[in-house]
Amino acid sequence: MEGKKKAKPVFTEEEARELARLLKKVARNNYLFPDEESFRALHEIRSMWALELVIWKKKSPGEKEILLVRYSGGAREFRGLWHIPGGYDVFLEPDFQAVCSKIAKRELGMNVKYVRIVGEHKWKPEEHPYGRPLSLYIQCEPLGKIEETKEVRFFGVGKLPKRLVKPHRRFLKSFLRKKSSYH
């Protein structure tokens, strides 16, 4: 097309080669980034999806409790807040069962059984320090007994902690309005 200017390359050839070399190194490292700063930089250019493991326990007939974990991960903005256990799909596993198992092993020290997807949430930029991830809320059943600690606890749905990640609170309130959503 006449009159259209050719865009200047954003990277020099040397920078492009270095970027390719570093991305290959990340891939060889099971897609784990070297530090918090580089992980945040990735999120500025690519929206990632995360699985949130929704695990229920019957307290009494008709009354359930949800498992929450005190956040201790890399996002300093969430440290100390309660959240639904979960994490990014950095494992590149072929199915939800495999990813849920790896996340549960890391977050809870145990395995879970994937049941079904029960909701989703596309985070707004101001809600998450890593940009706009997509959370998939996955109902799971624990394969073993969950030991409660100061950092891992079941909460009654009417007694959620005040310091709870806001989109997780919204999801729980919305999900619980649908009486047939959980069993």
DSSP calls for 4-67:
PPPPPPSS-HHHHHHHHHHHHHHHHTTT--SSHHHHHHHHHH---EEEEEE-EEEEETTEEEEE
Give the model's pLDDT for residue 74: 77
Query: How far apart are alpha carbons 131 and 44 in whole angstroms?
Result: 6
Give the model's pLDDT for residue 43: 67
Q: What is the pLDDT of residues 26-81, one digit of tens each?
A: 888 877 777 878 877 776 777 677 889 999 988 777 778 999 999 988 778 889 99
Residues 6+ apart with CB under 8 A from 25: none
Per-residue pLDDT band at 178 (split at 50, 70, 90): low
Residues of the chain with CATH 3.90.79.10: 47-178
How far from chain centre, in Å, is Cα 30? Answer: 17
134-142 and 49-54 beta bridge pairing: parallel
Give the model's pLDDT for residue 180: 44
Query: How far apart are alpha carbons 175 and 163 in whole angstroms?
Result: 19
Neighbours of 128 (CB within 10 A): 20
CATH topology for 47-178? Nucleoside Triphosphate Pyrophosphohydrolase (3.90.79)
Tokens of residue 27, six digits: 């891939």
Single pTM value for the model: 0.76
